[in-house]
Amino acid sequence: MSVQTENQPYEMLSIGSEAADQLFFEARSANSFSDEPVSEEVLEAIYETMKMGPTLMNNQPMRITWVKTTDARQKISETMAGTNAQKALSAPALAILSFDTEWHEEFEAFFPHAPERKAMFDDQGVRAAVGNNNAWLQAGYFIMAVRAVGLAAGPMGGFDSSAVDAIVNTDGRNKSFLIVNVGKPGDDAWFDRLPRHTAEFATRTI
C-alpha cells in the first residue's frame, strides 16, 4: 500500500500534541470561511512568522498582496477557475503570493557578508528560476504561519496569473503564483482527508 492517513508519531515530536495537531495532523485546506474579519495585526503576525523560514542565500523572493475589500476580492475572484471564485469570495482575506523577478536587487541587504555573490544571479533565467523556487518554499512556510495564528489556509493554484498580475502587479516586476484564502473555517469547510503516501513509498535511506 502506498497511501495511509493515520500514523501520527506524537511521541517522536518535541512540540506538544496540541501544536502538532494545529500545524499538521488536524490542519486542513479550508474550502469555505466564516465572515469573521482578520485584523491587520494578525496578517502582520503571519508575515513576521513566515519570514523566518530559510531560503537560498536568504533571498526571500516572495511578496504578499493582502486582499480584504469586497470590491478587490470580487475582481480577483473573476480570474479564478471553477469553484475557486466562490471560495475566495467567502474568505475575509486573500493573500496573493508573487515572486519578485528582481529579488537580487536587495542582495547586499539580505546577504551582507558576501555581496559579491550577487553576480551569480546576473542571468535573468537563473534569477527567475531561483526566485520562483524559493518563493514556493516560502509559500509552504506561509501556510504553516497561517495555521500557527489559529486560522485556516485555502491555497489555490486555479487562477489566471496574467489577469491577477494585470490587477495587482502592474509594474511587471512581480509574478503571482498562488492565492491563499485566509480566515476561520465556515460551514462544511472540509472535504474528506485524502490519503498520503506512506514512508515506505516516498522515502528511502542510503
Ligand X SMILES: Cc1cc2nc3c(=O)[nH]c(=O)nc-3n(C[C@H](O)[C@H](O)[C@H](O)COP(=O)(O)O)c2cc1C
Interacting residues with ligand X (CB under 6 A)? 28-29, 84, 155-158, 178, 193-194
All three cell numbers of 20, joined, read 502538532
The CB-of-81 to ligand X minimum distance in angstroms stands at: 7
Shortest distance, position 146 Cβ to ligand X, whole Å: 12
CA distance 127 to 171: 18
Spatial contact of 89 and 74, defined as CB atoms under 8 Å apart: yes
d(CA 147, CA 23): 6
Nearest to 148 by CA among 34, 14, 23, 36: 23
Task: Give whichever of 54 and 158 is closer to ligand X, judged by the CB atom.
Answer: 158
CB of 45 to ligand X, least distance (A): 21
Cα 110–Cα 115–Cα 119 angle in degrees, nearest 5: 110
Nearer to ligand X, 60 or 84 (CB): 84
Side chain identity at 123, as an amino acid letter? D
Give the residue with the Cβ less far from ligand X, 117 or 193: 193
- State the residue number with the nearest CB to ligand X: 158
Termini Cα distance of the chain: 22
Adjacent-strand bridge partners of 175:
99
Q: Which is nearer to ligand X, 4 or 124 (CB)?
A: 4
CB of 6 to ligand X, least distance (A): 13
Q: How far is the CB of 31 from ligand X (least distance, A)?
A: 6
Half-sphere exposure of 184 (CA within 13 A, CB side): 7
Considering the complex, state which of residue 38 and residue 180 has its C-beta at the smaller distance from ligand X.
180
